[in-house]
Amino acid sequence: MTMPTAPHYLFLTASTREPGHPGNTEWLARQAAAALPAHTPQTWHHLAQMHLPPFVDQRHTTGTYAPPEGDMQTLLDATLAATHIVWVAPVYWYSIPSPLKTYLDHWSAWMRVPGVAFKERMAAKTLLLITTSGDRAKAQPMIDSVVLCAQFLSMAWGGVLWGKGGPPGAVQADVEAVAQARTFLADASASAAERALR
């Protein structure tokens, strides 16, 4: 039997809004994070404010990658330290924003950094998505792609918290999303603990 690990949440905000202007998705994520039990470890990174070099595909040439540096090392360390990884990503053109896609592409490198055992370690984590868009149905392609990413690394899927976005502050009028935010992360943590005890 595997004992559950104390939850540690990594929030990766992916909006490309100007600094100092958090959008609907981050506002909703902050509501969810505020509902976690006191003293629950949380790490927040704004991907658009970090230096994320383009991913260079070496899988079929050198086959391995050197350890990352700078902000990419920061993100790798944060990713491995977390039990729950929360993508805070508004829908951009029916998909995830470009900073998050660049971060995700580097997973292909991290799986091939000697000694990291990235894929094996990710299998013990839970992936969650918090997103907003003007229409729930049009968010579904992005949601489906995130679910597939979790499945590829055998991660637990913690679910999606969706809110109706649009102009700044719009999600605050989405009563259902705001209510769901109060239990979204706690429910995911409880589910992960149950799976670990099986």
16 three-state secondary structure: coil
The answer as to whether 172 is a domain residue is yes
The answer as to whether 135 is a domain residue is yes
**What's the predicted TM-score (pTM) here?**
0.92
List, as one string, the DSSP characters of 28-72: HHHHHHHTSPTT--EEEEEGGGS--PPP---TTTT---PPP-HHH
What was the pLDDT predicted at 21?
77
| Strand ranges for the chain from DSSP E | 9-13, 42-46, 84-88, 126-133, 156-164
Overall number of domains in the chain: 1
Distance CA 88, CA 77 (A): 19
When the pLDDT of each residue in the chain is averaged and rounded to a whole number, the result is 93
Residue-range definition of the domain harbouring residue 54: 9-197
CATH label of the domain that carries residue 38: 3.40.50.360
The answer as to whether 1 is a domain residue is no
pLDDT at 2 over 90: no
On whether the CB atoms of residues 27 and 170 are closer than 8 A, the answer is no
pLDDT digits (tens, 9 = 90+) for 139-181: 999 999 999 999 999 999 999 999 999 888 999 999 999 999 9
The answer as to whether 3 is a domain residue is no
